Structure formats: C-alpha cells, structure tokens
Amino acid sequence: MTTPLTFRTWTAALSARGWTVLSPSHAVPVQLWLRSGDTVLHLLARGTRVVLRRYAASDLTSLLLRSACDCAEHRTAGASARTVLAPGTLPLDEVVLDGRTTFGWTSYEAGLLDVPTAAGVLESLLGRMTGIEGRAPGRTPTLDTRPTSDPARGHGPVATGRASSLTQPLQLPG
C-alpha cells in the first residue's frame, strides 16, 4: 500500500533531496519556493502555464510586515517577516509548460493542478532547466554557473515544450 502524495510528503521528499522549502510555498494553487546553496527555484502554476524560474540566492530579501497602526504595542510585539524577491530581480533561467498548447487548456487549469501532477511537472521542468543536473537523494544540486548569454548554453533562458510522461493532463469536462 502506497501513501498518497500530499503537499507535506512532497516537500519532505524535496527536502531529503537537498532543497529547503521556503515559507511562501503552498498547495492550492501550486506555488513552490525551493532553495539549495546559491540557487532558488520558483514553481508557479497559474492560468494555462506552469513556470519554473531559477534565481540566485542573493536575489532573496525579507519584507517586514507590520500592523496597520504601527503603535508601540505592536512594534514591541515584533513584526513578522516574509521572504520575497528583491525589487527588479530577473530570473537566471526559466522553463515553461504551456498547457494551452500541450493539453488544450483554455483558462485557469494550471491553478487546479493536484500535488501528484504538480510533482511530475516539476520533475519534467527540472530536467529541461539549464544548469540543474540530476542528483542522488540528499545531495546538493550542482549548477552550471555560466551566464545565460553564454552561447554554449543554447538560445537563451526560456524553453518551452512537452512535459514528460511523468505528468498527467487534467481531465477537462466536455
């Protein structure tokens, strides 16, 4: 008997592979922030696209969240912080699953992805991302540190195409 893949078990498996799952991650709609060493990955499923972007760890910053009143009582209670990308940050690399082309999605189907499907899409996109190599469980990912403008890396940071057989298309009505 196998255990169903939930967001918690998925993120635990990613942690076992050397990724730290950052706090802005959530299951519905799927948004995943991963960090390992000098790399940050952001998986975002919205509309008809699933996008995986790679950033440098130095692109992250903390945003302090304060109460609207900012009175002394709330200041001494402490402000919470949220991890965000620094303003003006551009991804080092990006790969896209275009659900409109691949599965015939028409509006918001990417936002309806369940965790097992999102996990398969992530693996497919990781396999297509420049500079991220396969790794054994528990090993830190290795990166290609050449700039995205390096001709040896191909025709630029954006790639599109079909997902691998690991992913399952959503069953759309009609």
Give the highest mean pLDDT range of 28-32, 140-144, 146-150: 28-32
Confidence of residue 64 (pLDDT cuts 50, 70, 90): confident
Q: What's the mean per-residue pLDDT of the chain?
A: 75
Question: What is the distance between the alpha carbons of residues 130 and 135, in angstroms, rounded to a whole number?
Answer: 14
So what's the pLDDT on residue 153? 32
Confidence of residue 93 (pLDDT cuts 50, 70, 90): very high
Confidence of residue 105 (pLDDT cuts 50, 70, 90): very high
Whether the pLDDT of residue 130 is over 80: the answer is: no
> Which residue stretches of 17-162 are H helix?
72-77, 99-103, 115-128
What number of other Cβ atoms are within 10 A of residue 93's Cβ?
Answer: 23
Lowest mean pLDDT, pick from 115-119, 132-136, 168-172:
168-172
So what's the pLDDT on residue 81? 75
